[in-house]
């Protein structure tokens, strides 16, 4: 990767895993199901998984998650690998889930033997009913308690093909009452007498995703299994499968991490709906240049570099978000600006006769790149008496702000001379058919016309005789609304997403442009030779993206603000209990807690504090122990506000110290023996490795006296003279910075409150 450092929460986790020695290597995987073409959302995932492997010198497998033979196809398998490689990544290995079917089945028998899975005869409708709902527990299948021997026999007969599709399933025996629906005896195998693209008719039972995926990861020794947010609920089952099959025994098991998948406005990412768009003929195929597929973007002319830059730009996080398509277009332009040679083409030609021009065979040597790009190369551009300019570049009655050609006005022909419009030739209907212009021969080479007349602008052109006629396809976004999924996507298709221009002309040098090559047509945009329909002598060009255009922008209708979708679900769904309700209920159930609540109140705690220290047994015990030694109010404050910070998610009873130790610490602070800041330091130490707070307090350096403190402060101010100046100039927010620096420099011997006062004083004095 470049010098720019990439960070995201997943790389943070990896850094931590490497630091602590949990892993010595990094192994990821990209696991698409071969049931469609890859799209820009997959590109994000590919860049993440392969990018991590590159950054950490690890491995990344391309693994087809082909566990459902009825939806998958070799066409997709081939397109996926091609897309991954085109994006610039080389899989460490290309693998298929189906190749693990024997091992998976073996482990399924082990689960059965261990009494952790059973064969269920319920049909799909019954299973759904038995599973319960989001708010109600499920109930056990009547087949849940079959003997191991019977289960094993039935499983083997399932595998042998003795039963029809849907007759039986293999289910994990977990917990029908789990609040996580995924844990309510999930299906492991279903019967499918179907031909598999890879295993043929070798199997008639196929593993479910939730069973197959963790095993695949474990078998491949994946360390970090990265997937999208909707699998968060599946993680518990992922871990269950690995633990109970023992597939990772003796090794470090893979762990699943979830990130937010990409949403792009004006774009649809659902594979199912993308398939419909193709099937219903709204586009020409999966690789139609309007499609958000990698194949479509490739054909459109997007480069792999641009797509990778986009993935970097948008980052990786856990918040659902919708990225502005403008960011993708920025990446595409940014890449092309530096890489695409400049040439000239006229989309809608307007004939211009340069009446004063009679040279023949004149050829202009025009550079491929402007000076600011600084790349070498040029091509010959023939001039002629008859040329074409863009119809848009002439207005018979120029509107305000128009800076191009008009009657009597002079403009420069790009790379050539300036011309002045002398005459507009119209047909019988008054339509403009051609222009007659005179030219200023002395103005070639960027020089101004000799008579000092104003040059309004620079326009592009091609010679009439030597330019070549081509077809140009102008693409716009496929959907006319930012959220095509609101309602039926078919209603939201942009009818103008493709405009075919047949009368366009490109300069002579482009006659042999290679399919797939990318160029900038000056002042128009970036274009690529179509790789499918273009033929020598009959070129077809795709517009990749327009140039950024400040003038055109003014005509553009402001995009309507994206309206927030009203949440029908939020209104109808039952509201979850709040923690406060849980605590109150716990006290109703448990008289000990109720008593603790009264006790806390009696000790003078506020109602809120009393509530918080009596919601569960652990907290109650801690508070009782702490308040036995320290002032109850202080004990409660520290327990409520400070302990959770250092616990970093651990339960109280998992901490290496207890309520009594907390009490002892708080007592020292109450008594003024140590400062609150020192107390926080000691608390952090306790949380890390336990110990005796009194001893820890004693071992600390004594508080700095006023003189020592002043010396530290002066030193910090001297070292940060620029910041001090900014502070004095009014950036008072920097006070916190100085306090932080001083506290750090004093290694805990300074009391921040008094330090702060002293710093303010010194800063003002300076």
Partner RNA sequence: UCGGGGAUCGUCCAAUGGCAGGACGUCAGACUCUGGAUCUGACUAUCAUGGUUCGAAUCCAUGUCCCCGAACCA
Tell me if 208 contacts RNA by CB under 7 A: yes
**Alpha-carbon distance values, 117 to 112, 164, 244 (Å):** 5, 20, 10
Calpha distance 587→596 (Å, rounded): 9
Q: What's the farthest any 2 CA atoms get from each other in the chain?
A: 107
Tell me if 67 contacts RNA by CB under 7 A: yes
Q: Name the segment binding RNA (CB under 7 A); options: 240-248, 316-324, 465-473, 595-603.
A: 316-324
Taking CB under 7 A as the criterion, which residues in 241-260 touch RNA?
260
In the complex with RNA, the residue whose CB is nearer, 503 or 644, is 644
| Of 116, 348, 434, 680, the one binding RNA by CB under 7 A | 680
Q: In angstroms, give the least distance from the CB of 536 to RNA.
A: 27
Calpha distance 51→49 (Å, rounded): 5
| Of 317, 396, 602, 628, the one binding RNA by CB under 7 A | 317
In the complex with RNA, the residue whose CB is nearer, 127 or 432, is 127
Contacts of 465 (CB under 8 A, 6+ apart): 382, 384, 386
Taking CB under 7 A as the criterion, which residues in 618-677 touch RNA?
637, 640-642, 644-645, 676-677
- Annotate each residue in 574-593 with x if it binds RNA (CB under 7 A) or - if it does not, as one string: xxxxxxx--x----------
Tell me if 718 contacts RNA by CB under 7 A: no
Using alpha carbons, select from 569, 528, 533 the residue that is nearest to residue 545. Answer: 528
| Residue 572: its H or E element | helix 568-572
Q: Name the segment binding RNA (CB under 7 A); options: 78-86, 565-573, 596-604, 695-703.
A: 565-573
Q: In angstroms, give the least distance from the CB of 97 to RNA.
A: 8
Tell me if 151 contacts RNA by CB under 7 A: no
Q: At 504, is the secondary structure helix, strand, or coil?
A: strand
Taking CB under 7 A as the criterion, which residues in 155-194 touch RNA?
165-169, 176-182, 187, 190-192
The string of DSSP letters for 291-347 reads SSBHHHHHHHT--HHHHHHHHHHH---SS--EE-HHHHHHHHHHHHHHHSPEE-EES
Tokens of residue 365, six digits: 């040597």
- ∠ CA 16-18-19, nearest 5°, is 60
Tell me if 486 contacts RNA by CB under 7 A: no
| Of 285, 330, 436, 453, the one binding RNA by CB under 7 A | 330
Calpha distance 115→120 (Å, rounded): 13
CA atoms lying within 13 Å on the CB side of residue 243: 10
In the complex with RNA, the residue whose CB is nearer, 234 or 534, is 234
Q: In angstroms, give the least distance from the CB of 232 to RNA.
A: 4
Tell me if 232 contacts RNA by CB under 7 A: yes
Tell me if 7 contacts RNA by CB under 7 A: yes
| Of 88, 140, 457, 691, the one binding RNA by CB under 7 A | 457
| Of 47, 80, 458, 544, the one binding RNA by CB under 7 A | 458
Residues assigned a catalytic role: 33, 261, 271
Tell me if 431 contacts RNA by CB under 7 A: no
**Helices marked H in 87-231 — which ranges?**
101-113, 124-131, 148-159, 209-219
User: What's the distance, CA 560 to chain centroid?
Assistant: 24
Q: Cα torsion at 100, 106, 111, 113 (round to 10°)?
A: 180
DSSP state of 205: E
| Of 2, 320, 360, 502, the one binding RNA by CB under 7 A | 320
Q: In angstroms, give the least distance from the CB of 429 to RNA.
A: 26
Q: In angstroms, give the least distance from the CB of 77 to RNA.
A: 13
In the complex with RNA, the residue whose CB is nearer, 370 or 690, is 370
In the complex with RNA, the residue whose CB is nearer, 157 or 645, is 645
Calpha distance 442→503 (Å, rounded): 33
CA 163, 166, 168, 172 dihedral sign is: positive
Tell me if 612 contacts RNA by CB under 7 A: yes
Taking CB under 7 A as the criterion, which residues in 99-128 touch RNA?
122-124, 127-128
Rg (CA), the chain: 36
How many residues touch RNA (CB under 7 A)? 138
Tell me if 707 contacts RNA by CB under 7 A: no
| Of 87, 508, 678, 734, the one binding RNA by CB under 7 A | 734
Q: In angstroms, give the least distance from the CB of 664 to RNA.
A: 18
Tell me if 230 contacts RNA by CB under 7 A: yes
Tell me if 372 contacts RNA by CB under 7 A: yes
Taking CB under 7 A as the criterion, which residues in 740-759 touch RNA?
740, 743, 752-753, 756
Tell me if 445 contacts RNA by CB under 7 A: yes
Q: Name the segment binding RNA (CB under 7 A); options: 293-301, 347-355, 440-448, 462-470.
A: 440-448
Q: At 173, is the secondary structure helix, strand, or coil?
A: coil
Q: At 255, is the secondary structure helix, strand, or coil?
A: strand
| Of 3, 134, 514, 764, the one binding RNA by CB under 7 A | 134
Say if CB 521 and CB 527 are below 8 A apart. Answer: yes
| Of 46, 77, 323, 508, the one binding RNA by CB under 7 A | 323
Tell me if 33 contacts RNA by CB under 7 A: yes
Q: In angstroms, give the least distance from the CB of 317 to RNA.
A: 4
Tokens of residue 96, six digits: 């298929």
Tell me if 335 contacts RNA by CB under 7 A: no
Q: 88 in the Ramachandran plot: left (φ > 0), alpha (ψ -120 to 50) or beta?
A: left
Q: In angstroms, give the least distance from the CB of 579 to RNA.
A: 4
Q: In angstroms, give the least distance from the CB of 125 to RNA.
A: 8
Q: Name the segment binding RNA (CB under 7 A); options: 195-203, 218-226, 425-433, 516-524.
A: 516-524
Using alpha carbons, select from 212, 223, 207 the residue that is nearest to residue 60. Answer: 223
In the complex with RNA, the residue whose CB is nearer, 16 or 538, is 16
Q: Name the segment binding RNA (CB under 7 A); options: 107-115, 201-209, 288-296, 419-427.
A: 201-209
Tell me if 348 contacts RNA by CB under 7 A: no
Using alpha carbons, select from 521, 524, 507, 537 the residue that is nearest to residue 382. Answer: 507
Tokens of residue 415, six digits: 């790379």
Calpha distance 416→603 (Å, rounded): 92
| Of 414, 436, 480, 762, the one binding RNA by CB under 7 A | 414
Q: Name the segment binding RNA (CB under 7 A); options: 103-111, 223-231, 426-434, 504-512.
A: 223-231
Taking CB under 7 A as the criterion, which residues in 377-396 touch RNA?
none
**Alpha-carbon distance values, 304 to 85, 339, 526 (Å):** 10, 13, 16
Taking CB under 7 A as the criterion, which residues in 530-559 touch RNA?
547-553
Q: In angstroms, give the least distance from the CB of 538 to RNA.
A: 26
DSSP state of 4: S
Q: At 517, is the secondary structure helix, strand, or coil?
A: coil
In the complex with RNA, the residue whose CB is nearer, 628 or 684, is 684
Tell me if 301 contacts RNA by CB under 7 A: no
Tell me if 367 contacts RNA by CB under 7 A: no
Calpha distance 138→132 (Å, rounded): 4
The string of DSSP letters for 583-641 reads HHHHHHH-HHHHHHHHHHHHTT--HHHHHHHTSSHHHHHHHHHHHHHS-HHHHHHIIII
Tokens of residue 753, six digits: 């409150």
Calpha distance 320→228 (Å, rounded): 10
Tell me if 446 contacts RNA by CB under 7 A: yes
Contacts of 572 (CB under 8 A, 6+ apart): none
In the complex with RNA, the residue whose CB is nearer, 531 or 756, is 756
Tell me if 2 contacts RNA by CB under 7 A: no
């Amino acid at each position: 990767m470049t010098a720019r450092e990439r960070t995201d929460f997943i790389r943070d986790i990896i850094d931590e895993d490497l630091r602590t020695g949990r892993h010595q290597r990094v192994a990821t995987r990209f696991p698409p199901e071969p049931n469609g073409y890859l799209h820009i959302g997959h590109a994000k995932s590919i860049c993440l998984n392969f990018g991590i492997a590159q950054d950490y010198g690890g491995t990344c497998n391309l693994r087809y998650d082909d566990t459902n033979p009825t939806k998958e196809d070799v066409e997709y398998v081939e397109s996926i690998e091609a897309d991954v490689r085109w994006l610039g990544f080389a899989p460490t290995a290309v693998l298929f889930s189906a190749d693990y079917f024997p091992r998976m089945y073996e482990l399924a028998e082990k689960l059965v033997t261990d009494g952790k899975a059973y064969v269920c005869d319920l049909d799909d409708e019954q299973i759904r009913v038995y599973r319960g709902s989001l708010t109600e527990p499920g109930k056990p299948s009547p087949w849940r308690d079959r003997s191991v021997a019977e289960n094993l026999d039935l499983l083997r007969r399932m595998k042998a093909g003795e039963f029809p599709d849907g007759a039986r399933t293999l289910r994990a025996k977990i917990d029908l009452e789990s609040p996580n629906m995924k844990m309510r005896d999930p299906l492991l195998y279903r019967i499918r007498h179907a031909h598999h693209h890879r295993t043929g008719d070798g199997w008639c039972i196929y593993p479910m995703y939730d069973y197959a995926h963790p095993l695949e990861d474990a078998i491949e020794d994946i360390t970090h299994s990265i997937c999208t947010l909707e699998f968060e609920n599946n993680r518990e089952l992922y871990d269950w499968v690995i633990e109970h099959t023992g597939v990772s025994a003796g090794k470090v098991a893979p762990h699943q991490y979830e990130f937010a998948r990409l949403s792009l406005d004006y774009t649809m990412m659902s594979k199912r709906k993308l398939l419909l768009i193709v099937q219903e003929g709204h586009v020409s195929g999966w690789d139609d240049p309007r499609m958000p597929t990698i194949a479509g973007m490739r054909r459109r002319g997007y480069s792999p570099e641009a797509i990778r830059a986009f993935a970097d730009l948008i980052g990786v996080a856990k918040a659902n978000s919708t990225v502005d398509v403008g960011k993708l277009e920025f990446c595409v332009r940014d890449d092309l600006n530096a890489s695409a040679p400049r040439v000239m083409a006229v989309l809608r030609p307007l004939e211009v006769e340069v009446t004063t021009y009679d040279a023949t065979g004149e050829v202009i040597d025009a550079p491929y790149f402007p000076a600011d790009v600084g790349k070498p190369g040029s091509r010959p551009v023939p001039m002629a008496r008859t040329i074409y300019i863009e119809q848009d570049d002439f207005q018979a009655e120029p509107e305000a702000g128009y800076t191009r050609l008009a009657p009597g006005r002079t403009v420069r022909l790009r790379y050539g001379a300036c011309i002045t419009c002398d005459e507009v030739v119209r047909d019988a209907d008054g339509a403009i058919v051609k222009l007659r212009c005179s030219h200023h021969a002395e103005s070639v080479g960027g020089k101004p016309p000799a008579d000092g007349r104003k040059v309004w602008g620079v326009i592009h052109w091609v010679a009439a005789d030597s330019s070549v006629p081509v077809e140009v396809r102008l693409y716009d976004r496929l959907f006319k609304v930012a959220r095509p999924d609101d309602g039926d996507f078919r209603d939201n298709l942009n009818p103008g997403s493709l405009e075919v221009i047949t009368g366009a002309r490109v300069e002579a040098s482009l006659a042999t442009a290679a399919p797939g090559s990318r160029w900038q047509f000056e002042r128009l945009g970036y274009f690529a030779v179509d790789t499918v329909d273009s033929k020598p002598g009959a070129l077809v060009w795709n517009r990749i993206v327009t140039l950024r255009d400040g003038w055109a922008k003014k005509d553009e209708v402001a995009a309507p603000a994206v309206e927030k979708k009203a949440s029908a679900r939020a209104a109808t769904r039952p509201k979850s209990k709040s923690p406060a309700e849980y605590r109150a209920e716990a006290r109703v159930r448990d008289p000990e807690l109720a008593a603790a609540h009264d006790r806390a109140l009696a000790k003078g705690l506020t109602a809120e504090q009393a509530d918080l220290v009596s919601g569960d047994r652990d907290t109650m015990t801690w508070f009782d122990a702490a308040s036995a030694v320290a002032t109850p109010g202080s004990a409660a404050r520290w327990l409520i506000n400070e302990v959770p910070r250092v616990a970093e998610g651990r339960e109280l009873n998992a901490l290496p110290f207890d309520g009594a130790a907390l009490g002892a610490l708080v007592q020292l602070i109450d008594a003024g023996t140590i400062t609150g800041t020192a107390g926080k330091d000691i608390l952090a130490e306790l949380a890390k490795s336990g110990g005796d707070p009194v001893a820890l307090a004693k071992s600390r350096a004594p508080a700095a006296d006023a003189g020592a403190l002043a010396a530290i402060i002066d030193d910090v101010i001297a070292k940060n003279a620029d910041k001090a100046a900014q502070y004095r100039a009014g950036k008072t927010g920097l006070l916190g910075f100085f306090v932080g620096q001083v506290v750090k420099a004093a290694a805990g011997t300074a009391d921040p409150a008094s330090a702060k006062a002293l710093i303010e004083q010194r800063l003002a004095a300076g």
